[in-house]
Structure formats: C-alpha cells, structure tokens
Amino acid sequence: MVRKIAIYGKGVIGKSTTQQNTAATLAHFHDKNVMIHRCDPKADSTLLILGGKKQTTMMDTLRLEGEKACTPENVVKTGYERIKCCESGGPEPWLILF
C-alpha cells in the first residue's frame, strides 16, 4: 500500500525540516521505503537527507541537458536510509518591491 503525506503552507514555517525529519523517522525507525518529491525552486528541501549535497532539479536538467537526460537515474538521488529524493524545481521566485 502506498501512502502519501503532503506538507504545505506559506514560506519559512519549517516545511522542509518537518518533511526531512518525518522521512528520516519513517525510514529509520519504521523501516519504510520513502521518497521525497518537492517542487521547491531553491532545491534545498533534501539537503539533510543527501548529506548536504544540493540536488539538480528536473527543470534545470531539462533546461541544460534536454528531455532525454531527464531520466530517473539522473533526477532521483538516494540519501540517508535509502530515501529517494527528487526536486522538480520551478521558476525562480521574484522579489517585487513597491
């Protein structure tokens, strides 16, 4: 059975930290197969799971290398306790000052 957990909300409220700690707990203490998939333009929501290594996003892979390079082997990385990590990425956030 596949179960999904969604964590969402406004910025700077601890979503990435909560998500990584939940994933680590499920993988380590409950021996679950876990995958993190985020759509974060900063692509920093898997840093702890991947030992501090920033992951290239799917969007960046598409932009830089093309569609054929966007394979699971290229965009899904494995980290702590075999947790699979994928960052979709997205447009860079804009800062608009009025």
* Per-domain residue ranges of the chain: 34-87
CA pair distance 17, 45, nearest whole angstrom: 8
Calculate mean pLDDT across residues 18-42: 92
Per-residue model confidence (pLDDT) at position 45:
81
The DSSP symbol for 37 reads E
CA pair distance 1, 58, nearest whole angstrom: 27
In tens, the pLDDT along 31-50 reads 999 999 988 777 778 889 99
CA pair distance 27, 49, nearest whole angstrom: 11
